[in-house]
Structure 1
Amino acid sequence: MVERTFELPDLGEGIAEGELVSWLVAAGDTVEEDQVIAEVETDKALVEIPSPYDGSVTRLHHDEGEIVPVDAVIATFEVEGDEEAATERDSSNTSADAESSPGETVADAADTDAAATGTPADAAADAGPGESPVPSGRVFASPSTRALARELGVDIGAVEGSGPGGRVTGADVRAHAQGAETPEGEESTAGAATASAAAADTATTTTDSEAAAAVGNGTAEAVEQRGSGSGAAAERDRTLAMPATRQLAADLGVDLNAVPASEEREGEPFVTPDDVRAFAAEGSDGASGAASGVAGATTTEEAKSATEPVTAADERAAAEASDEGAAAGDLADRPGERVPYRGVRRTIGEQMAASKYTAPHVSHHDEFDATDLVELQSELAAAAEDEGVKLTYLPFVVKAITTALAEFPYLNASLDESAEEIVLHEEYNVGIAVATDAGLMVPVVKHADEKGLKQLAEEIRDLAERARNRQIKPEEMQGGTFTITNIGVIGGEFSSPIINHPEAAIFAMGPIKKRPWVVDDEVVARNTMRFSMSVDHRLVDGADAARFSNRVKELLAEPSRLLLE
């Protein structure tokens, strides 16, 4: 029997960490390969983590509720077989790393195996008081860190780890590659590249040769500042950030790898939305940031004031920063329960802020006589119920929306700011906003225009149920081109919904109920539906939004037309 460790796997593009919601096993339990052992919440969804082994659990390294970085060891297993067989199995589990690095040697594989048999805590226990744990024959590093070392031509065994228990992080590998220990008077390739980049970015009169000399002569302050991301433009091969932050950077035309990171996660730079906005407000050309890292350079503010006039946006950003600072200071000592701002709730907040910050919203409100819709829905719902299908008003609205979108393609569009192009989507993928205990989720009905009322009803019910049970897959909430939200089921007449960026529009259904309505110059009680819609004014004018709204009203006021679609 041998012990094998298991690291939290990659949970998706740009996801750096997850909250360990629950363990489904305990130490001593016997597990089978692919058996779900834990549930981890990311900013997208609740993800089930399967066991990679047949064996027994000997240790769980994290408690429920902890935030666990990707690649951190979460469990240790005892599996049958000898050391050689276990090593071979590990090699097959990390075949992706091996395939991406054909130059990996047998020594590398042995090194990986040795690292996997211990934990950072073991190394920490071996270290004396006040000493940094130094691996002796073992190197603790994640597969991605090892891959980075191979890419940079770094002997990972020669890198001193700064992580817990002497764990080698990506930042340690990059620092080593940049020539932190280059002999005096000798400049490494990485050092020369850094010097060249620093010289190219600087906004002062410092020449390329002076910048290179500053680094080559051991002036490490500029290099350190660039690498740490505090006050200087960074040049990184990998940056950790939430998907909403990456989207914000793309919307603002900002290179995420050039944004100074205010945080670190497992030794890696972690960029927040505030970092991106601050960088964009400073000009995002990297010149002022690089200047602050070279001896004799001006500060960011001095470089900015010397080359650019103060704009309204600058004043607004400064005012917001001041207000935020005052608010933070005011809240620091305020009593009250404090709930962590993370997971789905934080993702919703970042996505909504990015949408309002990026897209100029225009809202449109309207109402129509829904008498015929109520009658048709009641008639068809009874027939659908005999087949086990619950038919609500929502499928009718989806059909009306997709029909109208075909006639008004700019409401089924997105703006590709980097290419300066409007993308008119060929697919009609309708997102359905669902309220869950964890927050708002938007599963997507793909190719909604190709489906009938009964099929739409079944698919919407299934997606909504799995979203509420946290069983929805991340890919089932991606690829939307238009979103519908139903405020009528909770209460309220109208709203000003926030667009699910980068979509162009969102439609909010209000309640259907009896209201005064004029028919043949007489006021009578009729079933009417009120609805609201928000559009991205960069893509859709108010007149087009009104015409689209009118077409939706026509189709829903005479819903028998939808049966012909």
Structure 2
Amino acid sequence: MKIVEMVMPPMGESIMECTVLHLLAKAGDKVSIDDSILEVATDKVDTEVPCPFSGVLAEWLVKESEVVPIGSPVARIEVEDNVNAEAVQPNNPPANGQPDIKINNVPEAIDVEATAALLEKDYEEALSKKAEPVLEYAANSPESNIFYSPLVLSIARQEHISPTELATIPGTGAENRVTKNDIFSFLDNRNKQVEPALPVATSLNGSNEIIEMDRMRKMISQRMIESRRISAHVTSFIETDMTPVVQWREHTKAEYRKKTGDSITFTPILIEAVVKAIKDYPMINISVDGDKIIKKKDINIGMAVALPDGNLIVPVIHRADQYDLPGLARKVNDLAKRARENKLKADDLAGGTYTVSNIGAFANLMGTPIIVQPQVAIMAFGAIKKKPAVIETPQGDLLGIRSLMFISHSYDHRVVDGSLGGLFLKRVNDYLENFDTHRTIL
């Protein structure tokens, strides 16, 4: 038997560290390949980490609530002598977020010593660089030579933490750097110190309950406020005749459930219409970087999902234009199910270029959702209601009962003018009103 180290695997695009939430196994427990042995949290998702070996968990190298860099050792596992640890340990993550696998006995055309020297030089230069100022007026402060991550700087700006205060926060990250958890702990303690100064009668009178925000709610709050600050939100509305879609779904859903064991909801139909409209108006599928507009080639649709605890999460259908309607239905059901079971991976939440929210699921008629940064638009679909409506025919106008739905389109007026925002909304409307009721999904 021999001891091998398990390292923290890649968690998705741009994720450099994660927080250990729970250790799911104890020292001395038998473990198998792909057994979930710890649960971690990143800025994007909580997820379970599988074990890459079969053997006995000899020792944990991390503790709960500890912030752990990607690629660092987290546990020692006792395995059979013939197990090749290097063959299953993840290397640096490629662009798609999936770990590479080292293959032994294959010569690498790389000068290892030269590469190591370059990496060490880059690392030393990064440590010696002056950090960007926490606040605009702090660029020349004596504290500004300390390195802080962009996330920490963003939180500091939003919470109005002065450079002097930031410099006093003890860091628990690598090289004693301040992590997001350190800054959240500082804010919690600062708030607790302020609260006693308030008269007890005005804050607690026995009739109110104080509920601490959980980590995800704090994250959502931070991102929503930041989005309102960044983007110039404008919202347009349209009322869409969903009668053809409703009639087709009523005719199809029983057979679909019988053959697939799953439901066909309105969401994949709505997403299909949005994808078609993005192809017609690709300048909706953009993001903003300073004074530059980045036009995205891939159409990655985020879909807002309400979680059982009341929080919200937005998994992404990557390259949604490559799915037909049956494929979209399967993808929507899969992501929604895994979101509610807390089984999403970090990559499931990364790379969205446009987001939709089906607020009609809560019987809401319309809404004005907040844009998911760095996207520039978001669409909300309201409840479908039967209403009397005028029906235009070659023989004249008739009064009939139609299934109508409000659609709202919120967009960033910095880069999306009213004409583009309105035309895009109208095109989604047209694809839904002209839905082919003779199409099949099985």
TM-score normalised over the length of structure 2: 0.71
SS of 2:143's equivalent in the other structure is: coil
Other-structure match for 2:172: 265
Q: Establish whether residue 514 from structure 1 lines up as the match of residue 386 from structure 2.
A: yes
What's the secondary structure of 2:275's corresponding residue?
helix
Contact 2:45 2:345 in 1 (8 A): yes
2:275 to 373, 377, 402: 402
> Which structure has the greater CA radius of gyration?
1
- Residues 218-268 of structure 1 deviation map (CA, whole Å, 9 limit, x = unaligned): xxxxxxx99xx98532364xx54549959x99xxxxxxxxx9795623343
Alignment of 1:489-508 (within 5 A): 489-508=361-380
Q: Is the contact between residue 433 and residue 441 of structure 1 (CA under 8 Å) also seen in structure 2?
A: yes
Question: 1:329 pairs with 171, 180, 194, which one?
Answer: 194
Q: Is the 8 A contact 1:261 1:269 kept in 2?
A: no
State the partner residue of 2:143: 232
In structure 1, distance between residues paired with 2:399 and 2:88: 75
Aligned residue in 1 for 2:246: 374
Distance 1:551 1:72, change over 3 A: closer
Counterparts of 2:242 and 2:153, CA distance in 1: 38
In structure 1, the residue matched to 2:436 is 560
Q: Is 1:478 the counterpart of 2:350 in the alignment? A: yes
1:279-324 Cα shifts (integer Å, max 9, x gaps): xxxxxxxxxxxxxxxxxxxxxxxxxxxxxxxxxxxxxxxxxxxxxx
Which amino acid in 1 is paired with 2:172? R
Q: Which residue of 2 aligns with 1:434?
A: 305
2:265 corresponds, among 388, 392, 416, to 392
Report the equivalent of 1:57: 57
What SS does the aligned partner of 1:28 have? coil
Contact 1:437-1:468 within 8 A present in 2 as well: yes
Matched with 2:319 is 447
Q: Is the partner of 1:489 in helix, strand or coil?
A: helix
Q: Secondary structure at the match of 1:530?
A: strand
Higher normalized contact order (CA 8 Å, seq sep 6+, divided by chain length): 2
Aligned residue for 1:232, secondary structure, equals helix
Supply the distance in 1 between the matched residues of 2:301 and 2:88 (Cα, whole angstroms).
40
The code of the aligned residue for 2:429 comes to K
Q: 1:14 touches 1:243 (CA, 8 Å); kept in 2?
A: no
Aligned to 1:488: 360
Shift of 1:7: 5.5
2:112 to 80, 96, 102: 102
2:236 to 350, 360, 364: 364
- Asked if the contact 1:414–1:424 (Cα under 8 Å) also holds between the matched residues in 2, the reply is yes
Q: Distance in 1 between matches of 2:16 and 2:121?
A: 24
Any unmatched runs of 5+ in structure 1?
A: 105-146, 154-169, 179-189, 199-224, 250-258, 276-324
For the pair 1:533 / 2:440, whether they are aligned, the reply is no
Matched, 1:411 2:284: yes
Change (3 A) 1:454 1:102: closer
RMSD: 4.6
How far apart are the structure 1 equivalents of 2:18 and 2:29?
A: 26
Distance 1:445 1:33, change over 3 A: closer
1:64-143 equivalent positions in 2, closer than 5 A: 66-70=65-69, 74-79=74-79, 102-103=112-113
Aligned residues: 388
Mapped contact 1:241–1:271 kept (Cα < 8 A): no
| CA spacing shift, 1:67–1:451, aligned 2, 3 Å | same
Check 1:93–1:502 CA distance in 2 against 1; reply closer, same or farther (3 A cut): closer
Where does the alignment leave 5 or more consecutive residues of structure 2 unmatched? 93-101, 103-107, 132-137, 159-165, 184-189
1:486-516 deviation per Cα after TM superposition (whole angstroms, max 9, x unaligned): 1111232111101111112111111111234
Q: 1:123-178, CA deviations, whole angstroms, 9 ceiling, x for partnerless residues? A: xxxxxxxxxxxxxxxxxxxxxxxx8998259xxxxxxxxxxxxxxxx9xxx7xx99
1:351 to partner: Cα distance: 2.6
Query: What residue number does 1:151 align with?
Result: 120
Q: Compute the displacement of 1:54 (Å).
A: 4.2
Could you say which residue in structure 1 is the equivalent of 2:21? 20
Q: Percent identity?
A: 28
